[in-house]
Amino acid sequence: MIRALIFDFDGLIFDSETPDFISWQETYAYFGVELPRDVWNAQIGTVAFNPYLHLEELVGRPLDRQMVWAKRKARDNELLALQTILPGVENYLAEARQLGLKIGLASSSDHGWVDDHLQRLGLFEQFAVICCADDVGGVGKPDPAVYRAAIAALEIAPHEGLALEDSPNGVTAAKAAGLWCTAVPNTMTRDLNLDHADYRLNALTDMPLSQLITEVTNGIN
């Protein structure tokens, strides 16, 4: 029986991934090099990739990282300001409450990022539990640590939780933690391999949460 719904954040609740990629893509172009989409796709949902180091390797020299950060971040903030809550998120939150489910969030980002954006979007109070990378020593997905922390905080057994993820790294983390997992890819991740998820939706608007739970678990109580 599903007792909790656990959301990913970036790319699932709001699209921070497209602005992040575009701002880095433009930064690379400024230095006359290209940021390959496959390189970027491999790091979505984790914290392992260092774009500064990768950019310096391509350029062949050290860069003023503070300058790069400031220029890139200003552009990222412009694009982020245009982003709103992704379709279906608010309905799923409302239905989860109606179903009596505990609601959690597990992210590879840190609390400074996640909490600030949840406050801006008016969603912070919707989550009983918010677990981020800085809660587990900075470890990001595909390591399952952040999901295990969420499971413990929600006081459920792993098989009693359903995770919603948009990336292969996120799905890997959720499954390694023992959770059911539905993949809900966004513009940046829809062409990636998400076959290891238990189920896939094109968007949360595809079906009600109650139906999804039945589909994912095959009606197991």
Taking the chain (221 residues) in runs of 10, the rounded mean pLDDT of each run is 97 92 96 92 78 95 95 94 95 98 97 96 97 96 97 98 96 98 94 95 97 88 51
- Say how far apart CA 131 and CA 36 lie, in whole Å: 31
3-state secondary structure the chain: CCCEEEECCECCCECCHHHHHHHHHHHHHHCCCCCCHHHHHHHCCCCCCCHHHHHHHHHCCCCCHHHHHHHHHHHHHHHHCCCCECCCHHHHHHHHHHCCCEEEEECCCCHHHHHHHHHHHCCHHHCCEEECHHHCCCCCCCCCHHHHHHHHHHCCCHHHEEEEECCHHHHHHHHHCCCEEEECCCCCCCCCCCCCCCEECCCHHHCCHHHHHHHHHCCCC
User: Peptide bond before 142: cis, by omega within 30 degrees of 0?
Assistant: yes
Give Cα 133 distance to the centre of its chain. Answer: 12
- Say how far apart CA 198 and CA 175 lie, in whole Å: 9
- Say how far apart CA 138 and CA 180 lie, in whole Å: 24
Beta bridge partners of 121: none
- pLDDT, residue 42, reads 81
Residue in 8, 15, 20, 198 annotated catalytic: 8
In the numeric block, the tokens 């390694």 are attached to 176
Residue in 10, 20, 135, 166 annotated catalytic: 10
- Say how far apart CA 199 and CA 162 lie, in whole Å: 11
pTM to 2 decimals? 0.89
- Say how far apart CA 142 and CA 57 lie, in whole Å: 25
Picking from 97, 42, 33, the residue whose alpha carbon sits closest to that of residue 63 is 33
In the numeric block, the tokens 């491999």 are attached to 42
Active site annotation includes 10: yes
Active site annotation includes 195: no
Give the angle subtended at the CA of 144 by the CAs of 140 and 149, to the nearest 5°: 95
> Is the distance from CB of 181 to CB of 198 less than 8 angstroms?
yes
